[in-house]
A and B are shown apart, each in its own frame.
Chain A
Amino acid sequence: MSAQGKTARGALSLLLLGPFLMAVFVPFLWMVLGIFKTNAEFFQPLAKAFFPAHYDWQNVADLLGGKWVPFWNVFGNSLIVSLGQALGAVALSAMAGYAFARFSFRGKRLLFVLAVALILVPRQLFAVPLFSWVNALGLSDSLLGVMLPGVVAGLGVIYFTQVFRQVPEEYLQAARVCGATELQVFLTVLPLVWPALLSYGMIHFILAWHEHLIPMLVLTTETKQTLPLALAKLYDVSQRTPQGVQMAASTFAVIPTAVLFALFHRKFKSSLSEMLVH
């Protein structure tokens, strides 16, 4: 395709993407602008008061200064729990997915379906027994008690099973011919699926960050809570705490993912360019 044709096509695509980008960006902007609003402004009909009257950083200062919740503590907790869960889930699901994709063994189908079906059951079923079990393991009111149950990801197993199916068999055979052990074969395949590992890690991170039920039951002490949990208590029916505080905290919560995405994107590109540049 000519350079000109490419530009025209790019511009047209951008134009068509426009409405969707607006639909996602406007609410995001609303959240960010909400940081500066008083509650009275915040709860105005949106079309009337989209922009704040003043840009006042008080809500941000109060949040970071720990006026409402021990922010750095709970933000750190969320980071630890979500990162730990994401790493764990990627490792366990990738290994399991590799086994499901690359080996045949008896009962494979049944095991696969059962493992995955578990995630389709409403989470609340597990809440009470999981809570007492986590407590019996001595993990109540600790971050590990939230993190460890979260490393089991049926979605991840489905995802990685599909991913490893696509790796050409020649790669594995080549490694085996060189005398690699099965673990080494697995490790040589991993770089090929970097983008998949990272994308799944990222979504698991996001889901873990928003997790509510298990942290709510397991974590009690204020400084041990996760960010969404700590924020939940601030808002009751009469809404005395400024919504701006919640908006600021939620805006900050986007940052870790943005950083992950920026890092991840480079990896994504490098493995891609090989395929695209011939």
Chain B
Amino acid sequence: MQAKPLDIWISSFQDQLYYESMVKLYKAKVDADFEAKVQSFGFREMPEKLAVSIKTGINPPDVVQLDEVLFGAFLSGDVPFVDLNARIKKAKLDKDIAKSRQSLFAYKGKTYGIPQSLSAMVLYYRADLFEELGIDPATLTTWDKFVAAGKMVVEDHGKSMIALDPTYFGILLRQRGSDLFGRDGSTFPDREAAIEVLGWLQKQMETRVGMVPERASIFDPLFFNSAIQYGEVLSVMGADWYGLDMLQQFTPDLKGKWGAMPLPAWKLPDGRLSRRTSAFAGQGLLINKASKQQDAAWKFIEFVITNKESNARRFLDGNSFPAYRPAWKDERLLQPNEFFSNQKFGELLVRLAPEVPEVVSHPNRAKAVFLFQETFFTSLIYGELKPAEVLDKMKTMLEAAGPGL
């Protein structure tokens, strides 16, 4: 018998509904006496409330759901979450969760969370417009070919090939095998790659192959209803959840007009081609160190991560594609998808899964992501700052405030 219900804090209302149904399922299948209180606060409010609760030690929850980007902010100083390494091994999750995703919530040899989604990046394109303009997605194997096709789109049709977003910086870096931070804790470990990616973004804007949504974000509701809806832009990069959740929510009448394909590859300095995918964001489940019910919390998390139904629901309800590998065999995930022109969307993701790069966690990761997004992206795009200047300024800002000060 539990002393008190498990407190689970979630950042969105949709996920609250999902976890409430998971609690029901868990009670039916595993433990009839299990009690849990699932509460959601706003996606801005939850991390703030959680942090204050941790800081003051007052009413901390047992289990929290956090996005990997925000997770980084909890890494300076004592990490307030339970190290799950031993439990992960015992449950064989180290074999069953996609390799690259296992390090998502790991830092300095400890693992603090279990990722729920694969978050594989693909290129979403307007299949109807591609066909109309005579672009065959199968030929867009490299970014060079992509840009060449894009120039034709701009010059002959006055449209843009791709919508640009600040998140692309990290995404493209990871596609090239680098990241914002190095494993050794360094900032921008591969300076050349970073400069090339920033320069690429700037160039696309300059030649109008790329366009920047009005709010400089591909997550802005009005972007879907204007630039996308009017067919002003033909493609956008996004993780599995961008297509499953956002595109389906905001462009329901473009059903059947979307396609998804692997990202075009970079030509790397050594002549090889890069991988065809990348990774960005994704939620995970973590246990608070102050929790007095860590075992009960783990059992529930393990259930949610490994249960066939719980994984299928996340995909079928239009949330994300699971990181738990055995779930990839579920036929329901592999069916032709009407929204994506009857492509087998799940199959594409499974195919890309082995290539999905790791995301390097770092206490400054969230800061770097927000800093670029809020301060430097537009300056770069409109040519006010050169790529090297952006890098240097960001590096100085990120390194100036060492953790703790």
Contacts and interface: CB of A to CB of B under 8 A. Distances in A.
A112 interface: no
Interface string A197-230: 0000000000000000000110010100000010
Contacts of B49: 216-217
Interface residues of A, number: 28
A237 B67 CA distance: 13
A43 interface: yes
Q: Which of A127, A232, A233, A234 has the most CB of B within 10 A?
A: A233
Nearest to B244: A238
Contacts of A45: 222, 225-226
A267 B151 CA distance: 70
Contacts of A217: 49, 52
Contacts of A68: 13
A239 B246 CA distance: 9
A235 interface: yes
B42 A40 contact: no
Interface string B213-249: 0000001011011100000000000000000011001
A17 B252 CA distance: 43
Contacts of B42: 232-233, 235-236
Given A43-B250, A140-B59, A220-B59, A233 B226 contact: no
A43 B246 CA distance: 14
B41 interface: yes
B58 interface: yes
Contacts of B48: 216
A188 interface: no
Contacts of A131: 52, 56, 58
Contacts of A220: 39, 59
A128 interface: yes
A132 interface: yes
List of 6 A-B pairs having minimum Cβ-Cβ separation, nearest first: A232-B42, A43-B221, A236-B12, A132-B56, A238-B245, A233-B40
Given A128-B55, A128-B56, 7 more contacts: A40-B252, A43-B224, A217-B49, A222-B39, A232-B41, A238-B249, A239-B221
Interface of A: 39-40, 43-45, 68, 127-128, 131-132, 135, 140-141, 216-217, 220, 222, 229, 232-241
28 contacts: A40-B250, A43-B221, A43-B222, A43-B250, A45-B222, A68-B13, A128-B52, A128-B55, A128-B56, A135-B56, A135-B58, A141-B59, A216-B49, A217-B52, A220-B59, A232-B42, A233-B41, A234-B13, A235-B42, A236-B12, A236-B14, A236-B43, A237-B246, A238-B246, A238-B249, A238-B250, A239-B221, A241-B13
